C-alpha cells in the first residue's frame, strides 16, 4: 500500500492526499502551470481590501496591519502574482505585517524557502508575525520557519507577542493550525495583558479556539474563497466553518473574523471568481 512519509509534524495527511501530491509532482512537472499563468495579466492581478476596526484606542495613533495568506509558492502560483502582492504590501508601509500560513505547496525546497524569504523581506514593516498552515506542517516546516525568520518574521505557535510603544496596548496571538496542528488557546493567551488583542490562525476552524478571549479581530485564510467559484459564491470549500465563512469580514460572536481568499493556488491550476487579495486593517 502506498504511503508517503510526512516530513513535518502535521496530522491528517491521508493516503488520498499522499497520492494526490504524488500525481501533482508528475502532472505539474517543471512548474509549467505557474509559468503559463505568469504570461496572463488577469491571472496576476491582486485585489486590495481595506477595513477600519474601531476598538476604542483613545489617544493612540492608528495601527496599520497588513495581512496576506496562502502564498503557495510552488508549481501552480504565478511568480508575478506574488511579486505584485508583496509590492503592494510594501507600498502600504504597515506597522505590522501578519501572515496566515500555507507558504508553499508540496514539499518545500531551499529555492522555495529563499523565494519566500525574499518576498517577505520586501515589506518594510517594523514588526512581522506569522502562523503556519496545514501545507507547511506536512513538509519541512523548520526550513519554512527559518526562511521567515530571515525575513524578520516571528512565527507564533500558540503564543503571543506584545507590541512595543507607541502601540503597547496591542498584543498579537497566534494559534497553531486547526487542521493539522494542535491549537492550544490556554497557552496562546497565557500572560496576555494588553487590552487590544489581535489574532492570527490559518483557517476559520480556529474561531472556536479564539472566541470568548477578548480578541477584537481574528485573521485567517485557508479557504481561497473556494478558489473555483460561481458569481453566486464558492463551489466547494473544505470544512464546515470554511463553508460558513468562505471569504470576507464577518461579525462572529464577540469578534470580527476576516477570512482571506489568499494569493496562491493549490491542487488545480485555476482561480475563478475568487480573486487573490491582500488586506490592510487600520486599528483605531
| CA 65 vs CA 55, 62, 95, 208, 230: distances in Å | 14, 10, 6, 23, 30
11 with 181: CB under 8 angstroms? Answer: yes
Per-residue pLDDT tens digits of the chain, which is 284 residues long: 333 567 899 999 999 999 999 999 999 999 999 999 999 999 999 999 999 999 998 889 999 999 999 999 999 999 999 999 999 999 999 999 999 999 999 999 999 999 999 999 999 999 999 999 999 999 999 999 999 999 999 999 999 999 999 999 999 999 999 999 999 999 999 999 999 999 999 999 999 999 999 999 999 999 999 999 999 999 999 889 999 999 999 999 999 999 999 999 999 999 999 999 999 999 99
Would you state the pLDDT for residue 6? Answer: 75
199 with 256: CB under 8 angstroms? Answer: no
16: exposed, middle or buried (Cβ count in 10 Å: 0-12, 13-18, 19+): exposed
Q: What is the value of pTM for the model shown?
A: 0.96
Which sign, positive or negative, has the C-alpha torsion 119, 121, 127, 130? positive
Would you state the pLDDT for residue 209? Answer: 97
> 10 Å Cβ neighbour count for 272?
15
Q: What are phi and psi of 86, to 5 degrees?
A: -80, -25
Amino acid at each position: 500500500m502506498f504511503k508517503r512519509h510526512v516530513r513535518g509534524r502535521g496530522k491528517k495527511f491521508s493516503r488520498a492526499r499522499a497520492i494526490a501530491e504524488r500525481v501533482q509532482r508528475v502532472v505539474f512537472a517543471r512548474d509549467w502551470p505557474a509559468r503559463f499563468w505568469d504570461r496572463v495579466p488577469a491571472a496576476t492581478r491582486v485585489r486590495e481590501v481595506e477595513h477600519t476596526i474601531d476598538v476604542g484606542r483613545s489617544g493612540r495613533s492608528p495601527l496599520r496591519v497588513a495581512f496576506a495568506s496562502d502564498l503557495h509558492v510552488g508549481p501552480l502560483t504565478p511568480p508575478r502574482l506574488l511579486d505584485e502582492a508583496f509590492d503592494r504590501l510594501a507600498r502600504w508601509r504597515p506597522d505590522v505585517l501578519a501572515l496566515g500560513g500555507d507558504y508553499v505547496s508540496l514539499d518545500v525546497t531551499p529555492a522555495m524557502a529563499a523565494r519566500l524569504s525574499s518576498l517577505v523581506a520586501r515589506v518594510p514593516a517594523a514588526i512581522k508575525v506569522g502562523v503556519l498552515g496545514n501545507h507547511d506542517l506536512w513538509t519541512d516546516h523548520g526550513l519554512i520557519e527559518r526562511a521567515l525568520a530571515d525575513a524578520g518574521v516571528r512565527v507564533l505557535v500558540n503564543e503571543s507577542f506584545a507590541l512595543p510603544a507607541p502601540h503597547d496596548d496591542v498584543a498579537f496571538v497566534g494559534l497553531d493550525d486547526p487542521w493539522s496542528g494542535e491549537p492550544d488557546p490556554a497557552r496562546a493567551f497565557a500572560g496576555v495583558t494588553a487590552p487590544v488583542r489581535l489574532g492570527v490562525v490559518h483557517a476559520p476552524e480556529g474561531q472556536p479556539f479564539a472566541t470568548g478571549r477578548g480578541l477584537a479581530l481574528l485573521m485567517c485564510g485557508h479557504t481561497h474563497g473556494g478558489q473555483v467559484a460561481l458569481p453566486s459564491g464558492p463551489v466547494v470549500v473544505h470544512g464546515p466553518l470554511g463553508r460558513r465563512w468562505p471569504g470576507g469580514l464577518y461579525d462572529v460572536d464577540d469578534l470580527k473574523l476576516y477570512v482571506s481568499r489568499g494569493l496562491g493556488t493549490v491542487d488545480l491550476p485555476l482561480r475563478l471568481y475568487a480573486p487573490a487579495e491582500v488586506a490592510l486593517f487600520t486599528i483605531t
